[in-house]
Amino acid sequence: MKALLKIKPEKGLTLMDGPDPKPGPYDVLIRVKATSLCGTDAHIYNWDEWASHRVHLPRIIGHEMFGEVVEVGTEVSTINVGDRVAAESHLTCGLCFQCRTCQAHVCKNYRILGIDFDGSYAEYVSLPERVLWKTAPDLPPELGCLHEPLGNAVDAALAEDLTGHTVLVTGCGPTGLFAIAVARTAGAAQIIATDISEYRLQLATQLGADHVFNANTLTPEALGAALSDLLGGEGVDAALEMSGDPAALHLAFQSVKNGGRVTLFGIPRGQVCFDLPNEIIFKGIRVYGVTGRRLFGTWYRLAGLFKAGLNIRPVVTHTIPMVDFAKGFDLVNSGQCGKVVMVP
């Protein structure tokens, strides 16, 4: 099969031919129909400091995928040949305290598809039955492969009820855009989005944002004042910080009303200092960190959101063949895209 491998500790990937994976008794062999490019994959492609310490070479990368089942192991009981499936990328141990107390999403020993074992940037991938999710038969591949990152947005947005609430989303990368769509479908009354890319702010409007602000053209003080004016000095009910940018982090905490909630998904590049008493403690703010999806509650909730009319199609801005992977990562690195989907 053809696959994209990280072979050398330098920028780039290598397209190679190799043997098809062989499923074990509890595994399923999947023909990959679509796999999307993720920020994590960009870290590995660019070979930054995080990737150099986290990823062991060689490795087929990629973890956001959709495909058709072509072979099942002898002990597989719930998946059949011909099923269309997405996959949970976190393989949990099932034995640690977290796994045994219904907190598998923070398993101490989880392994990640495309990082700790070979991933989905390939024509075929073999995965355990227990991480697969059957999708609706009419769901197109370019949307089916988005279940995994979309699940992050569902957990971020719906950690608490948003019905009738005002929501601020700082950072309109793909997961931030998904969060806007989820918040709109879940009944948020008003959605405000900030980003440094006019391109992505236009996408945010298409997905349901009522007001957008370009943080690249406003000072942090001016942006904070604009939000305060818009909200009548009251603040938002919930702030979803999806960028990891220090200025955006402070904006999220400063813009949320007393007693509100801040969800943190974006990863800062370094340490960030806070005025804990005034930004968090005295305001009585609830802080929720997102690290993947709740297994598998988030997946069931996502299925319901699709039935309720969740529309994420505008997020998919580019579809490319696997041979053009370098163009795809150039787009991701430029920020002039939503989600880039690759077809093997």
Spot the catalytic one: 14, 35, 40, 291: 40
User: What is the rounded CA–CA span in Å between residue 241 and residue 262?
Assistant: 7
14, 35, 43, 217: which one is catalytic? 43
Q: Taking Cα atoms as reference points, which of 249, 247, 273, 272 lies closest to residue 262?
A: 249
Active site residue 205: no
40 annotated active-site = yes
Q: What is the rounded CA–CA span in Å between residue 104 and residue 94?
A: 7
Strands 236-241 vs 166-170: parallel, antiparallel or unpaired:
parallel
Residue 74: other Cβ atoms inside 10 A: 9
Distances 45 to 55, 109, 123, 215 between C-alpha atoms, Å: 11, 25, 19, 27
Please provide the size of the chain in residues: 344
Asked if 142 contacts 34 with a C-beta cutoff of 8 angstroms, the reply is yes
Burial class (CB in 10 A: 0-12, 13-18, 19+), 223: buried
Measured over all CA atoms, what is the biggest interatomic distance in the chain, rounded to whole angstroms?
Answer: 63
Q: How far is CA 343 from CA 66, 165, 201, in A?
A: 10, 38, 27
Nearest residue to 92 (alpha-carbon basis) of 107, 79, 80, 81: 107
**The dihedral of CA 82, 87, 92, 94: what is its sign?**
negative
Amino acid letter, 178: F
Sign of CA dihedral 241, 243, 247, 249: positive
Q: Establish whether the linkage from the previous residue to 296 is cis, with ω within 30° of 0.
A: yes
Identity at 26, one-letter amino acid code: Y
Q: How many CB atoms lie within 10 A of CB 119?
A: 29
- Active-site amino acid positions: 40, 43
